[in-house]
Amino acid sequence: MRIVGGKFGGRRFSPPARMPARPTTEVAKEGLFNILNNIIDFEGLKTLDIFGGTGSISYELASRGAADLTLIERDPTTIDFIKKTAKELGIDDILHIIRGDVFKFMKQSTDRYNFIFAGPPYALINIDELPLLVFEKNMLLPGGTFVLEHTPRNDYQKHPRFQKMKNYGTTVFTFFTLPGETPQTTE
């Protein structure tokens, strides 16, 4: 696993072999952040990484200047790896790890974020609930962006907050936005 950009760009980490996470491929992650760099100024942002997995997306966000990172993950081995990596990067003071069920967290959370990323297991049966919950629970700040990673079998183009989608083979990123004026949006 490699951080593709920002101040930690090029740093490599090796997740434990038995980790149940499916990390976003390096090619897809690089493509995602190329798009995001054109629409978001990460400096000082409050972010949420649900289905945090290896923590790869949160490391990229921190590398680009995000100031407040929350990551939701339920696997204890994965959480230990994330804690170790955050300490090595010196971001353990800004990375808040919550161990638990993503849907339970989303239904109870009252926090709002500039950027939310969801990289759920591709076989997740209730994946379609994720964009609904983000907007029903008012989890995005005005001008905020939500990115959902999924397979080509899911299509969110009819969602009222749909912005665009980008396909990287078996990985698709769908971008949703909450309209509003905020300094974080540059497009």
Its domain, for residue 130, covers: 26-177
Lowest mean pLDDT among 84-88, 165-169, 180-184: 180-184
| Nearest of 117, 124, 78, 120 to residue 97 by alpha carbon | 78
- Does residue 42 contact residue 59 with C-beta atoms inside 8 Å? no
Mean pLDDT of 83-99: 97
| pTM summary value | 0.92
What's residue 23's pLDDT? Answer: 66
How far the first Cα of the chain sits from its last, in Å, is: 30
Confidence band of 179 (pLDDT split at 50, 70, 90):
confident
* Residue 149: HSE in the Cβ half-sphere, 13 Å Cα cutoff: 26
The answer as to whether 148 is a domain residue is: yes
The CATH number of residue 71's host domain is 3.40.50.150
Residues 5 and 52: their CA atoms lie apart, in Å, by 19
The answer as to whether 184 is a domain residue is: no
pLDDT at 187 over 90: no
| Total count of domains within the chain | 1
Percent of the chain with pLDDT over 90: 76
The answer as to whether 16 is a domain residue is: no
Burial class (CB in 10 A: 0-12, 13-18, 19+), 150: buried
The answer as to whether 8 is a domain residue is: no
Encoded tokens for 158:
């009819």
The answer as to whether 41 is a domain residue is: yes
The answer as to whether 165 is a domain residue is: yes
The answer as to whether 166 is a domain residue is: yes
The answer as to whether 45 is a domain residue is: yes
